[in-house]
């Protein structure tokens, strides 16, 4: 009996030791490969298992080794209408410093003043196309028309010219690396104002008469309207659907509380993004905090009374 007991203890000891050592080996292997996800302070995956990209959750070398051989083209649309053309220079110059470096990038600038598009020195394999569009007396109108224009651009040109697309706001600047970690089928950015807020505080459209309506108790995240990204064909679906909803709202004389952003939030609720960019990728201002350890892209300060037409 005594021998059995001693044998059992020895077996248990060996079992526990081998478990602990294989766990240690696994951890050391991950550390060796640099695969450790060092972020325990923020949520890095959605409940539908889409990654949320934060500094410290990805390895640029591994991502570039995956995407560079694919020889992809990334389109970038931006709208510079009225006084907003003043933001173009900083936008483009900073994008040349940080946005998708090492990839083929094609900027499409929608503007009512093509002559005001600044001359910016572009890196190899990067180019600009300027597209003339009418001006507007209401900034809301400019926002509302964006979806239709991007939809038309994709339909007529981009389906054959680009693989991925990022549609961004012009009154912004890049401040840090924005690379292949942002690529996925459908990409949304968590709004800087709501990443730690609970859903009842989200500023979704709450009037059932609007196509952007989301009832209280529903919704996953509140996404910023200044960034839509993903495969060209996926972003095409976003723009086509939102364009349709915007027109339906217009016919019913209702404008969603945050225009295009409200419709986008509705779209992403029923068509889950496959990747979420943390507020590092869509910040507002120079302020940093504990979670947002680096700012990659941010709105710049502006006196709205001086740049908006209304």
| Residues of the binding site | 79-81, 84, 169-171, 191, 203, 261
Among residues 73, 86, 129, 203, the one that binds ligand GAL under rule CB under 6 A: 203
The verdict on 176 binding ligand GAL (CB under 6 A) reads no
State the Cα–Cα distance between residues 141 and 308, nearest whole angstrom: 11
x/- map, 207-246, ligand GAL, by CB under 6 A: ----------------------------------------
* Active-site residue, from 96, 261, 280, 291: 261
Q: Tell me which residue of 70, 108, 74 sits closest to 230, measured CA to CA.
A: 74
Q: How far is the CB of 199 from ligand GAL (least distance, A)?
A: 13
x/- map, 259-288, ligand GAL, by CB under 6 A: --x---------------------------
The verdict on 193 binding ligand GAL (CB under 6 A) reads yes
Burial 248-265 (b: 16+ CB within 10 A, else e): ebeeeebbbebbbbbbbb
Among residues 79, 107, 195, 258, the one that binds ligand GAL under rule CB under 6 A: 258
Segment 243-252 long-range contacts (CB within 8 Å, at least 24 positions apart): 243/147, 243/148, 243/151, 245/211, 245/212, 246/144, 246/147, 246/148, 246/211, 248/211, 249/210, 249/211, 249/212, 250/144, 252/209, 252/210
State the Cα–Cα distance between residues 150 and 234, nearest whole angstrom: 12
155 among known catalytic residues: no
Cβ nearer to ligand GAL, comparing 128 with 282: 282
Active site residues: 261
Binding site for ligand GAL (CB under 6 A): 191, 193, 203, 258, 261
């Amino acid at each position: 009996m005594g021998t059995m007991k001693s044998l059992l203890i020895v077996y248990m000891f060996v079992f526990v030791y081998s478990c602990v050592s294989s766990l240690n080996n696994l951890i050391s292997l991950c550390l060796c490969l640099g695969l450790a996800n060092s972020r325990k302070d923020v949520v890095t995956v959605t409940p539908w298992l889409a990654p949320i990209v934060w500094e410290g959750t990805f390895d640029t070398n591994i991502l570039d080794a995956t995407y560079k051989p694919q020889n992809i083209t990334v389109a970038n649309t931006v709208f510079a209408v009225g006084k907003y053309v003043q933001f173009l220079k900083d936008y483009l110059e900073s994008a040349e410093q940080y946005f998708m470096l090492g990839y083929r990038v094609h900027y499409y600038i929608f503007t009512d003043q093509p002559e005001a598009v600044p001359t910016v020195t572009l890196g190899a394999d990067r180019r600009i196309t300027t597209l003339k569009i009418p001006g507007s007396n209401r900034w809301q109108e400019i926002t509302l028309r964006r979806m239709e224009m991007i939809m038309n651009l994709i339909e007529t040109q981009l389906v054959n010219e680009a693989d991925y697309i990022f549609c961004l706001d012009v009154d912004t600047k890049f401040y840090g690396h924005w690379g292949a970690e942002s690529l996925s089928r459908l990409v949304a950015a968590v709004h800087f104002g709501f990443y730690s807020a609970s859903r009842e505080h989200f500023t979704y459209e709450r009037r059932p008469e609007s196509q952007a309506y989301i009832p209280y108790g529903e919704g996953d995240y509140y996404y910023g309207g200044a960034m839509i990204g993903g495969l060209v064909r996926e972003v095409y679906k976003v723009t086509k659907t939102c364009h349709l909803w915007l027109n339906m709202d217009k016919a019913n004389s209702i404008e969603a509380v945050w225009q295009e952003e409200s419709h986008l939030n509705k779209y992403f609720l029923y068509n889950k993004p496959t990747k979420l960019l943390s507020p590092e990728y869509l910040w507002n201002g120079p302020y940093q905090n504990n979670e947002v350890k680096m700012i990659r892209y941010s709105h710049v300060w502006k006196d709205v009374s001086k740049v908006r037409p209304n």
